[in-house]
């Protein structure tokens, strides 16, 4: 039987583009927040756009390298729900590995350019992001994936983008990053909760495995609630403009996701087969609405 060759569409899908909002939108929010607080930073908007592109490029590379190692260590197998770019035999492991490293190399190039424009301290953020993208699978296998994702796709991206715009760190972005980071961690947590059985078979450890199915449901609820509570608290403390309350329009979507999570049992996780994508969609809506809120605050 003749082996199918991947099409351009297959190459694009292999990077998991549906997940890109978890990197691009926090960077966009950091850019808009910085312009809101420091209007003069708008002169560096091109550097901000490059930072957003760089965040997506690193994520694409990290996704591919993670898929390579998941396949290599038996985490991804034929018939398992989730990514199938390797189990379907559409791509070879070597193709995915090289493809992932090509994105990482491009991301490093963009990062070094930003360092040359903004300042040497940005190098530490870039180094941390590179380690997170390349070695995520090692953290994931030791139940530290959730923590790494929180740090990379929250504080790291947002502090780095702010630095690019300002030439120094604005530590208020650390707190502004929390709402998006909570939801982003839930993208991973939904995936790992669904895969508890298969991950145990592959002899790896995830945070969802450690705390168990019932606690995983509670954890998903808690992170979702914290995302909205933190927005309200930061509006009250005047860290975010009052327009940030626009994010509350996404509560029905969050409720729908939580309801799906609450329906799982030890023997049936099918209600959350697509919850990682559903949570990524929530992150898209939540972050987009916060971006809109900041744009309105700039214009008003």
The pLDDT profile of the chain, 300 residues, written as one tens digit per residue, is 445 788 889 899 999 888 888 899 999 999 999 999 999 999 999 999 999 999 999 999 999 998 898 888 777 655 554 556 777 778 888 999 999 999 999 999 999 999 999 999 999 999 999 999 999 888 888 889 999 999 999 999 999 999 999 999 999 999 999 999 999 999 999 989 998 887 777 677 889 999 999 999 999 999 999 999 999 999 999 999 999 999 999 999 999 999 999 999 888 899 999 999 899 899 999 999 999 999 999 998
Q: Residue 140 and residue 162: Cα distance in Å, rounded? A: 28
Backbone angles phi, psi at 135, to 5 degrees: -110, 20
Q: Residue 300 and residue 296: Cα distance in Å, rounded? A: 6
pTM for the structure as a whole: 0.88
Instruction: Answer yes or no: are the C-beta atoms of 80 and 198 closer than 8 Å.
Output: yes
Instruction: Answer yes or no: are the C-beta atoms of 257 and 250 closer than 8 Å.
Output: no
- Going along the chain from its start, the domains and CATH numbers come out as 8-299 (1.10.600)
Q: What pLDDT score does 77 carry? A: 59
Instruction: Answer yes or no: are the C-beta atoms of 208 and 216 closer than 8 Å.
Output: yes
Q: What pLDDT score does 53 carry? A: 97
pLDDT tens-digit map of 24-47: 999 999 999 999 999 999 999 999
pLDDT tens-digit map of 66-86: 889 888 877 765 555 455 677
Instruction: Answer yes or no: are the C-beta atoms of 30 and 158 closer than 8 Å.
Output: yes
Q: What pLDDT score does 146 carry? A: 93
Neighbouring-strand partners of residue 205: 142
Q: What pLDDT score does 154 carry? A: 93
Look up residue 93 and give its DSSP letter: H
Q: Residue 150 and residue 140: Cα distance in Å, rounded? A: 12
Neighbouring-strand partners of residue 142: 205
Count other Cβ atoms within 10 Å, centred on residue 138. 13
Q: How many helices (H) and strands (E) does the chain have?
A: 14, 0
């Amino acid at each position: 039987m003749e082996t199918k060759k991947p099409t351009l569409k297959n190459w694009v899908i292999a990077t998991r583009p549906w997940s890109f909002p978890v990197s691009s939108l926090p960077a966009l929010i950091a850019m808009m927040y910085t312009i809101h607080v420091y209007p003069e930073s708008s002169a560096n908007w091109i550097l901000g756009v490059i930072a957003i592109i760089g965040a997506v490029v690193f994520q694409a590379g990290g996704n591919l390298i993670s898929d390579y190692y998941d396949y290599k260590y038996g985490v991804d197998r034929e018939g398992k729900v989730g990514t199938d770019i390797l189990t379907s035999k559409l791509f070879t492991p070597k193709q995915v590995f090289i493809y992932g490293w090509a994105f990482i190399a491009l991301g490093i190039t963009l990062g070094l350019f930003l360092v040359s424009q903004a300042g040497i301290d940005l190098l530490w953020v870039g180094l941390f992001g590179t380690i997170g993208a390349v070695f995520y699978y090692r953290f994931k296998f030791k139940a530290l994936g959730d923590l790494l994702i929180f740090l990379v796709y929250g504080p790291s991206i947002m502090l780095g983008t702010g630095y690019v715009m300002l030439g120094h760190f604005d530590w208020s972005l650390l707190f502004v990053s929390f709402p998006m980071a909570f939801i982003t961690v839930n993208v991973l947590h939904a995936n790992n909760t669904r895969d508890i059985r298969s991950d145990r078979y592959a002899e790896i450890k995830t945070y969802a495995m450690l705390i168990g199915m019932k606690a995983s449901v509670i954890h998903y609820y808690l992170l979702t609630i914290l995302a909205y509570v933190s927005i309200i608290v930061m509006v009250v403390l005047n860290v975010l403009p009052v327009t940030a309350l626009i994010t509350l329009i996404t509560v029905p979507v969050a409720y729908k996701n939580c309801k799906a999570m609450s329906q799982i049992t030890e023997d049936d996780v099918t209600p959350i087969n697509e919850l990682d994508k559903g949570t990524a969609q929530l992150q898209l809506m939540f972050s987009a609405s916060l971006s809109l809120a900041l744009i309105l605050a700039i214009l008003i």
